Amino acid sequence: MTPRQRVLAALEHRPPDRTPRDFWAEPATWNRLLAHVGHGDKDRLLDALGIDVRHLEAAGPAERALGDGLHQNFWGERYVYRQTPWGPMREDGPGALAGARTLAELEDFDWPTPDVFDYGPLGRDCRRWDDYALLYGFADIWERPALVRGWENMFLDMHERPDWVHFLCRKFTDFYKEDYARAAEATGGRIDLFLVISDLGSQTGPLISLGMFREFVAPYIKEMADAIHALGAKVLYHSCGSIVPFIPELIRLGVDVLDPIQPVGSEMSPERLKADFGDRLCFHGGIDMQHLLPHGTPGEVAAEVRRYCETLGRDGGYILGPAHFFQPDVPPENILAVYEG
Protein backbone atom coordinates (compact mmCIF):
# COMPACT_ATOMS: atom_id res chain seq x y z
CA MET A 1 0.00 0.00 0.00
CA THR A 2 1.01 3.62 -0.45
CA PRO A 3 1.00 5.68 2.72
CA ARG A 4 -2.29 7.30 1.74
CA GLN A 5 -3.92 3.96 0.88
CA ARG A 6 -2.79 2.65 4.26
CA VAL A 7 -4.37 5.56 6.15
CA LEU A 8 -7.60 5.50 4.15
CA ALA A 9 -7.98 1.76 4.74
CA ALA A 10 -7.62 2.27 8.50
CA LEU A 11 -10.14 5.13 8.44
CA GLU A 12 -12.60 2.83 6.66
CA HIS A 13 -12.07 0.12 9.31
CA ARG A 14 -10.34 -2.13 6.79
CA PRO A 15 -7.09 -3.90 7.73
CA PRO A 16 -4.10 -2.10 6.18
CA ASP A 17 -0.83 -3.88 5.37
CA ARG A 18 0.51 -2.37 8.63
CA THR A 19 -0.68 0.19 11.15
CA PRO A 20 -0.38 3.69 9.64
CA ARG A 21 1.80 6.21 11.45
CA ASP A 22 1.68 9.92 12.19
CA PHE A 23 4.24 12.23 13.79
CA TRP A 24 3.65 15.32 15.96
CA ALA A 25 6.51 17.19 17.63
CA GLU A 26 7.29 20.55 19.18
CA PRO A 27 9.92 22.61 17.32
CA ALA A 28 12.41 22.07 20.14
CA THR A 29 11.86 18.31 19.83
CA TRP A 30 12.56 18.47 16.12
CA ASN A 31 15.84 20.26 16.90
CA ARG A 32 16.91 17.56 19.34
CA LEU A 33 15.86 14.67 17.11
CA LEU A 34 17.50 16.02 13.96
CA ALA A 35 20.72 16.64 15.89
CA HIS A 36 20.55 13.02 17.06
CA VAL A 37 20.18 11.57 13.55
CA GLY A 38 22.82 13.89 12.16
CA HIS A 39 20.99 15.82 9.45
CA GLY A 40 18.37 18.57 9.09
CA ASP A 41 16.01 17.07 6.51
CA LYS A 42 12.56 16.56 8.06
CA ASP A 43 11.09 14.70 5.08
CA ARG A 44 14.03 12.32 5.02
CA LEU A 45 13.52 11.57 8.72
CA LEU A 46 9.76 11.07 8.33
CA ASP A 47 10.35 8.66 5.46
CA ALA A 48 12.92 6.75 7.50
CA LEU A 49 10.32 6.38 10.28
CA GLY A 50 7.63 5.21 7.85
CA ILE A 51 5.32 8.15 8.59
CA ASP A 52 2.19 7.97 6.42
CA VAL A 53 0.68 11.43 7.08
CA ARG A 54 1.96 14.84 6.06
CA HIS A 55 0.74 18.03 7.73
CA LEU A 56 -0.19 20.98 5.54
CA GLU A 57 -0.03 24.52 6.89
CA ALA A 58 -1.02 27.89 5.46
CA ALA A 59 1.42 30.58 6.54
CA GLY A 60 -0.07 33.16 8.87
CA PRO A 61 1.06 36.57 10.17
CA ALA A 62 4.01 36.92 12.49
CA GLU A 63 3.40 37.28 16.21
CA ARG A 64 3.89 40.65 17.91
CA ALA A 65 6.31 41.32 20.75
CA LEU A 66 4.53 43.23 23.54
CA GLY A 67 7.57 43.77 25.74
CA ASP A 68 8.97 42.02 28.82
CA GLY A 69 9.13 38.76 26.86
CA LEU A 70 5.38 38.68 26.18
CA HIS A 71 4.13 37.82 22.68
CA GLN A 72 0.70 37.96 21.04
CA ASN A 73 -0.55 36.18 17.94
CA PHE A 74 -3.24 37.26 15.49
CA TRP A 75 -5.99 35.76 17.69
CA GLY A 76 -4.93 37.65 20.79
CA GLU A 77 -3.39 34.69 22.60
CA ARG A 78 -0.53 35.85 24.80
CA TYR A 79 2.45 33.81 25.90
CA VAL A 80 6.10 33.80 26.85
CA TYR A 81 8.85 31.45 25.71
CA ARG A 82 10.72 29.30 28.21
CA GLN A 83 14.12 28.14 27.08
CA THR A 84 15.10 24.47 26.97
CA PRO A 85 18.46 23.04 25.90
CA TRP A 86 16.94 22.42 22.46
CA GLY A 87 15.01 25.63 21.89
CA PRO A 88 12.15 27.73 23.28
CA MET A 89 8.78 26.34 24.41
CA ARG A 90 5.62 28.44 24.57
CA GLU A 91 3.88 29.01 27.92
CA ASP A 92 0.42 30.59 27.73
CA GLY A 93 -1.02 33.27 29.96
CA PRO A 94 -4.25 35.31 29.97
CA GLY A 95 -5.03 36.62 26.51
CA ALA A 96 -5.83 40.01 25.06
CA LEU A 97 -9.47 39.97 26.22
CA ALA A 98 -8.86 38.78 29.77
CA GLY A 99 -9.61 42.25 31.08
CA ALA A 100 -12.78 42.84 29.05
CA ARG A 101 -15.69 44.16 31.10
CA THR A 102 -18.35 44.49 28.39
CA LEU A 103 -19.49 42.55 25.36
CA ALA A 104 -18.71 45.66 23.30
CA GLU A 105 -15.03 45.21 24.11
CA LEU A 106 -15.16 41.71 22.61
CA GLU A 107 -17.01 43.00 19.58
CA ASP A 108 -14.51 45.82 19.02
CA PHE A 109 -11.45 43.57 19.06
CA ASP A 110 -9.50 43.45 15.77
CA TRP A 111 -10.73 39.99 14.77
CA PRO A 112 -8.80 38.28 11.96
CA THR A 113 -10.23 36.80 8.77
CA PRO A 114 -8.68 33.98 6.72
CA ASP A 115 -7.21 36.72 4.53
CA VAL A 116 -4.31 36.66 7.00
CA PHE A 117 -3.28 33.23 5.66
CA ASP A 118 -1.31 32.46 2.49
CA TYR A 119 -2.81 29.38 0.82
CA GLY A 120 -0.55 29.58 -2.24
CA PRO A 121 2.02 26.94 -1.19
CA LEU A 122 -0.61 24.28 -0.36
CA GLY A 123 -0.99 23.09 -3.94
CA ARG A 124 2.77 22.64 -4.30
CA ASP A 125 2.91 20.70 -1.04
CA CYS A 126 0.09 18.42 -2.23
CA ARG A 127 2.02 17.57 -5.37
CA ARG A 128 5.18 16.95 -3.35
CA TRP A 129 3.36 14.62 -0.95
CA ASP A 130 0.98 13.01 -3.42
CA ASP A 131 1.44 9.49 -2.04
CA TYR A 132 0.73 10.51 1.56
CA ALA A 133 -2.43 11.14 3.53
CA LEU A 134 -2.78 14.88 4.10
CA LEU A 135 -3.88 16.60 7.31
CA TYR A 136 -4.70 20.29 7.56
CA GLY A 137 -5.62 22.79 10.19
CA PHE A 138 -5.84 23.89 13.78
CA ALA A 139 -9.51 24.73 14.25
CA ASP A 140 -9.92 25.37 17.96
CA ILE A 141 -13.49 26.45 18.65
CA TRP A 142 -13.63 26.58 22.47
CA GLU A 143 -10.22 26.20 24.13
CA ARG A 144 -8.48 28.84 22.04
CA PRO A 145 -11.29 31.34 22.72
CA ALA A 146 -10.73 30.52 26.39
CA LEU A 147 -7.04 31.34 26.06
CA VAL A 148 -7.87 34.71 24.53
CA ARG A 149 -10.44 35.41 27.25
CA GLY A 150 -8.48 33.73 30.07
CA TRP A 151 -9.52 30.33 31.42
CA GLU A 152 -11.00 31.58 34.68
CA ASN A 153 -13.01 34.21 32.85
CA MET A 154 -14.29 31.69 30.32
CA PHE A 155 -15.61 29.38 33.03
CA LEU A 156 -17.32 32.29 34.76
CA ASP A 157 -18.70 33.53 31.44
CA MET A 158 -20.36 30.18 30.75
CA HIS A 159 -22.39 30.67 33.91
CA GLU A 160 -22.82 34.44 34.11
CA ARG A 161 -22.41 35.74 30.54
CA PRO A 162 -23.26 32.90 28.13
CA ASP A 163 -23.73 35.32 25.22
CA TRP A 164 -20.04 36.26 25.53
CA VAL A 165 -19.01 32.61 25.16
CA HIS A 166 -21.21 32.11 22.13
CA PHE A 167 -19.85 35.31 20.59
CA LEU A 168 -16.27 34.04 20.92
CA CYS A 169 -17.00 30.49 19.74
CA ARG A 170 -18.92 31.88 16.76
CA LYS A 171 -15.96 34.08 15.75
CA PHE A 172 -13.57 31.14 15.80
CA THR A 173 -15.94 28.69 14.13
CA ASP A 174 -16.78 31.02 11.27
CA PHE A 175 -13.09 31.74 10.74
CA TYR A 176 -12.11 28.09 10.56
CA LYS A 177 -15.02 27.03 8.35
CA GLU A 178 -13.84 29.58 5.80
CA ASP A 179 -10.19 28.66 6.35
CA TYR A 180 -10.94 25.00 5.65
CA ALA A 181 -12.99 25.82 2.56
CA ARG A 182 -10.11 27.89 1.17
CA ALA A 183 -7.57 25.17 1.94
CA ALA A 184 -9.74 22.59 0.19
CA GLU A 185 -10.07 24.85 -2.84
CA ALA A 186 -6.33 25.51 -2.96
CA THR A 187 -5.61 21.76 -2.91
CA GLY A 188 -8.34 20.63 -5.29
CA GLY A 189 -10.10 18.72 -2.53
CA ARG A 190 -7.03 16.59 -1.85
CA ILE A 191 -7.00 16.93 1.98
CA ASP A 192 -7.98 13.71 3.78
CA LEU A 193 -8.24 14.92 7.39
CA PHE A 194 -9.07 18.27 8.97
CA LEU A 195 -8.23 18.90 12.62
CA VAL A 196 -10.71 20.23 15.18
CA ILE A 197 -9.42 20.99 18.66
CA SER A 198 -10.75 21.76 22.11
CA ASP A 199 -9.46 20.09 25.26
CA LEU A 200 -12.39 18.78 27.31
CA GLY A 201 -10.67 16.72 29.99
CA SER A 202 -8.34 16.91 32.97
CA GLN A 203 -6.21 14.09 34.31
CA THR A 204 -9.14 12.75 36.31
CA GLY A 205 -12.28 13.67 34.40
CA PRO A 206 -14.14 16.26 32.33
CA LEU A 207 -13.36 19.96 32.59
CA ILE A 208 -17.02 20.86 32.10
CA SER A 209 -20.38 19.14 32.54
CA LEU A 210 -22.23 17.44 29.73
CA GLY A 211 -24.80 20.21 29.95
CA MET A 212 -22.16 22.91 29.46
CA PHE A 213 -20.60 20.87 26.65
CA ARG A 214 -23.93 20.57 24.85
CA GLU A 215 -24.58 24.29 25.13
CA PHE A 216 -21.18 25.81 24.44
CA VAL A 217 -19.05 23.30 22.54
CA ALA A 218 -21.19 20.70 20.76
CA PRO A 219 -22.99 23.07 18.34
CA TYR A 220 -19.68 24.35 17.01
CA ILE A 221 -18.14 20.89 16.70
CA LYS A 222 -21.22 19.88 14.71
CA GLU A 223 -20.85 22.86 12.38
CA MET A 224 -17.18 22.08 11.82
CA ALA A 225 -17.86 18.37 11.25
CA ASP A 226 -20.62 19.09 8.75
CA ALA A 227 -18.40 21.55 6.88
CA ILE A 228 -15.48 19.09 6.79
CA HIS A 229 -17.66 16.24 5.57
CA ALA A 230 -19.04 18.52 2.84
CA LEU A 231 -15.44 18.97 1.69
CA GLY A 232 -15.11 15.19 1.31
CA ALA A 233 -12.76 14.72 4.28
CA LYS A 234 -12.72 13.17 7.75
CA VAL A 235 -12.81 14.94 11.13
CA LEU A 236 -9.85 14.38 13.45
CA TYR A 237 -10.88 15.69 16.86
CA HIS A 238 -8.23 16.44 19.50
CA SER A 239 -8.88 16.55 23.22
CA CYS A 240 -6.46 15.77 26.00
CA GLY A 241 -7.50 14.23 29.29
CA SER A 242 -10.09 11.77 30.52
CA ILE A 243 -13.06 12.38 28.21
CA VAL A 244 -15.02 9.11 28.09
CA PRO A 245 -18.38 10.79 28.95
CA PHE A 246 -18.01 12.95 25.85
CA ILE A 247 -17.10 10.21 23.36
CA PRO A 248 -20.67 9.11 22.49
CA GLU A 249 -21.51 12.80 22.01
CA LEU A 250 -18.51 13.32 19.74
CA ILE A 251 -19.54 10.35 17.60
CA ARG A 252 -23.06 11.74 17.33
CA LEU A 253 -21.67 15.13 16.29
CA GLY A 254 -19.75 13.58 13.40
CA VAL A 255 -16.22 13.04 14.71
CA ASP A 256 -14.46 10.30 12.71
CA VAL A 257 -11.11 10.02 14.50
CA LEU A 258 -10.29 10.74 18.16
CA ASP A 259 -6.88 12.08 19.20
CA PRO A 260 -4.74 11.79 21.31
CA ILE A 261 -6.46 9.17 23.54
CA GLN A 262 -4.36 10.18 26.54
CA PRO A 263 -3.89 7.14 28.84
CA VAL A 264 -5.03 8.71 32.12
CA GLY A 265 -7.09 5.85 33.54
CA SER A 266 -8.59 2.46 32.81
CA GLU A 267 -11.53 3.99 30.93
CA MET A 268 -9.08 5.48 28.41
CA SER A 269 -7.17 2.23 27.92
CA PRO A 270 -6.95 0.93 24.35
CA GLU A 271 -8.82 -2.22 25.33
CA ARG A 272 -11.81 -0.29 26.71
CA LEU A 273 -11.86 2.23 23.88
CA LYS A 274 -11.79 -0.49 21.22
CA ALA A 275 -14.48 -2.55 22.96
CA ASP A 276 -16.80 0.38 23.65
CA PHE A 277 -16.35 2.54 20.55
CA GLY A 278 -14.17 0.75 18.03
CA ASP A 279 -17.01 -0.04 15.64
CA ARG A 280 -18.02 3.64 15.42
CA LEU A 281 -14.80 5.58 15.82
CA CYS A 282 -11.17 5.54 14.71
CA PHE A 283 -8.30 6.43 17.03
CA HIS A 284 -5.07 8.40 16.66
CA GLY A 285 -2.14 8.55 19.10
CA GLY A 286 -2.14 7.02 22.57
CA ILE A 287 1.54 6.38 23.34
CA ASP A 288 2.02 7.90 26.80
CA MET A 289 3.81 11.25 26.76
CA GLN A 290 3.85 11.86 30.51
CA HIS A 291 5.66 8.84 31.88
CA LEU A 292 6.58 6.21 29.31
CA LEU A 293 8.17 8.29 26.56
CA PRO A 294 10.29 10.60 28.74
CA HIS A 295 11.25 8.00 31.37
CA GLY A 296 10.87 4.51 29.85
CA THR A 297 13.36 2.43 27.91
CA PRO A 298 13.20 1.91 24.14
CA GLY A 299 12.15 -1.68 24.84
CA GLU A 300 9.28 -0.57 27.05
CA VAL A 301 8.18 1.94 24.40
CA ALA A 302 8.25 -0.73 21.69
CA ALA A 303 6.15 -3.08 23.84
CA GLU A 304 3.49 -0.41 24.41
CA VAL A 305 3.43 0.38 20.70
CA ARG A 306 2.76 -3.29 19.95
CA ARG A 307 -0.09 -3.27 22.48
CA TYR A 308 -1.77 -0.26 20.87
CA CYS A 309 -1.30 -1.49 17.32
CA GLU A 310 -2.60 -4.98 18.13
CA THR A 311 -5.54 -3.67 20.16
CA LEU A 312 -6.73 -0.48 18.48
CA GLY A 313 -5.39 -1.47 15.06
CA ARG A 314 -7.21 -4.79 14.90
CA ASP A 315 -9.29 -4.71 11.70
CA GLY A 316 -8.19 -1.13 11.05
CA GLY A 317 -9.32 2.01 12.83
CA TYR A 318 -6.03 3.23 14.31
CA ILE A 319 -3.18 5.59 13.39
CA LEU A 320 -0.08 5.26 15.57
CA GLY A 321 1.30 8.36 17.25
CA PRO A 322 2.12 9.91 20.62
CA ALA A 323 -0.51 11.00 23.15
CA HIS A 324 0.42 14.63 22.41
CA PHE A 325 3.16 16.38 20.46
CA PHE A 326 6.51 14.76 21.21
CA GLN A 327 8.06 16.97 23.91
CA PRO A 328 11.76 17.90 24.02
CA ASP A 329 12.38 15.93 27.23
CA VAL A 330 11.73 12.65 25.36
CA PRO A 331 15.03 10.92 24.52
CA PRO A 332 15.45 10.60 20.73
CA GLU A 333 15.97 6.86 21.16
CA ASN A 334 12.43 6.56 22.52
CA ILE A 335 10.93 8.52 19.64
CA LEU A 336 12.70 6.23 17.19
CA ALA A 337 11.47 3.20 19.15
CA VAL A 338 7.84 4.20 18.52
CA TYR A 339 8.34 3.58 14.80
CA GLU A 340 10.93 0.79 14.65
CA GLY A 341 8.52 -2.13 14.99
Q: Which domains does the chain have, with CATH numbers?
A: 3-338 (3.20.20.210)
pLDDT digits (tens, 9 = 90+) for 142-181: 999 999 999 999 999 999 999 999 999 999 999 999 999 9
Mean pLDDT, residues 127-135 taken together: 97
Mean pLDDT, residues 294-307 taken together: 98
What mean pLDDT, rounded, does the chain reach?
97
pLDDT value of residue 324? 94
pLDDT value of residue 266? 92
Exposed e or buried b per residue across 159-180, where buried means at least 16 C-beta atoms within 10 angstroms of its C-beta: eebeebbbebbebbbbbbbebb
pLDDT value of residue 44? 98
DSSP string, 55-104: EE--B-PPPEEEETTEEE-TT--EEEEEEETTEEEEEEE--TTTT--SHH
pLDDT value of residue 333? 98
pLDDT digits (tens, 9 = 90+) for 255-264: 999 999 999 9
pLDDT value of residue 292? 98
Cα(16)–Cα(192) distance, integer angstroms: 16
| DSSP state at residue 53 | E
pLDDT value of residue 121? 95
pLDDT digits (tens, 9 = 90+) for 195-207: 999 999 999 999 9
pLDDT digits (tens, 9 = 90+) for 74-96: 999 999 999 999 999 999 999 99
Question: For residue 341, what pLDDT band results from cuts at 50, 70 and 90?
Answer: confident
pLDDT value of residue 111? 98
Question: For residue 66, what pLDDT band results from cuts at 50, 70 and 90?
Answer: very high
Q: Is the pLDDT of residue 187 over 80?
A: yes
Mean pLDDT, residues 52-80 taken together: 97
Outline where DSSP puts E strands in 156-276.
Answer: 193-197, 234-238, 257-259
pLDDT value of residue 169? 98
